[in-house]
Amino acid sequence: MRASIPHKSLTGSALLAVAGLLASVSAAMAEPPSRLAETGLYVDGTRTVRAENLPYAPQYPLWSDGASKRRWLYLPPGSVIDASDPDSWEFPVGTRLWKEFSHGRPIETRFIERLGDGTWQYAAYVWNADGTEALLAPETGVPDHQTDAAPGGHYPIPSREDCLACHEGAAKPVLGVSALQLSPDRDTDAVHAEALDPANLTLTDFVARGLVTNLPKALLDTPPRINASSPTERAALGYLHANCGHCHNNDGPLTLLDLVLAQNIASERDGTDDVRRTLLLKRSDFEMAGASLRVVPGKPEQSVLTLRMRARDALSQMPPLGNQVSDHEAIALIERWIQQHL
């Protein structure tokens, strides 16, 4: 039953508020397509990715239990990304992104889209065993999707709330597409670094194609990179940025923790200094195995940061979502950084 609203009794501002509320409700009720093939990723009836969907690869990838990934970005014709803030690009309505997760074969493809009211819609699609079709996962996700392709025979499909927890914690919901992540000055020591396929677009390519506007000229003259004292520190800070910085930053809901692991290349403040200031000898809000300081210089075994990276229970592990298997290569890197550079 539809409620009747006597519009003459409402002020102009009230009418705008009601219209905004109805738009938000409508967006929330809008369901993603039931099949991945209906999202616009592929040429109809094929597994060929459409030419207008642009491939890219961040230089610091997110750890997802060793899954390999492919990523694509679509912008509506004639639209551009506003890169006035190089760390938090503003994407036009109609932007779509896909990320395919594989363990030998595709298991899941995640999809986000910017809707007409400016909000973002999130969806996960689960591939069948023979790789012929991917169907929309339930809104609650599939916490224990059974597949012999994944480590241990099971793979967690995130719920939409899980998607929000990570994507909405950042200044902008799109992760992995920024001046730093797409910089052509790639960190060859990055953990799980992906060889830059010539087909994958970098920051330079986005600008040359006219897909990015308002990017500070200084970042074209000198491509962005993390300011670090050594290759080990650069790689360690990059890993923390990609895997932890979307929650632990200066802009999101966890700012009160005063824990900054995101790199902010647009700021006059040095991102490396912020990481050091908020980690070194700072009391942790979460004690573990007798450790109470976030990082003890030279002593990773007494640092809450590395202990939580090693933990695999839901209450202790960091990051808390999207992984079941400890990232041993990254832990070794972070421990080496603490031992040798802090």
pLDDT at 111 over 80: yes
Considering only 29-38, 52-61, 77-86, 181-190, which range has the smallest mean pLDDT?
Answer: 29-38
Q: Total structural domains in the chain?
A: 2
Which of 292, 194, 295 is closest to 244 using CA atoms? Answer: 295
Same domain, 46 and 79: yes
CA distance 339 to 194: 26
Question: Is residue 221 one of the residues assigned to a domain?
Answer: no
Which of 156, 150, 152, 114 is closest to 129 using CA atoms? Answer: 150
| Strand boundaries in the chain, DSSP class E | 54-55, 68-74, 81-82, 96-102, 106-114, 120-127, 134-136, 142-146, 154-157, 212-213, 283-288, 291-293
For the chain, give the percent of residues with pLDDT over 90. Answer: 60
Question: Is residue 236 one of the residues assigned to a domain?
Answer: yes
Same domain, 55 and 200: yes
The values of phi and psi at residue 15, to 5°, are -60, -40
Number of residues that make up the chain = 342
CA distance 161 to 167: 10
Average pLDDT, the chain: 86
| Side-chain half-sphere CA neighbours of 262 within 13 A | 24
Whole-number pLDDT of residue 152: 80
Same domain, 65 and 166: yes
C-alpha angle 288-314-234 in degrees, rounded to nearest 5: 65
Output 6 or 167, whichever has higher pLDDT: 167
Question: Is residue 61 one of the residues assigned to a domain?
Answer: yes
Q: What is the mean pLDDT of residues 149-172?
A: 76
Domain boundary residue, one of 147, 178, 213: 213
Output 209 or 322, whichever has higher pLDDT: 209
pLDDT at 38 over 50: yes
Considering only 35-44, 107-116, 275-284, 307-316, which range has the smallest mean pLDDT?
Answer: 307-316
Domain boundary residue, one of 213, 247, 270: 213
Considering only 9-13, 43-47, 179-183, which range has the smallest mean pLDDT?
Answer: 9-13
Domain that holds residue 319: 226-341
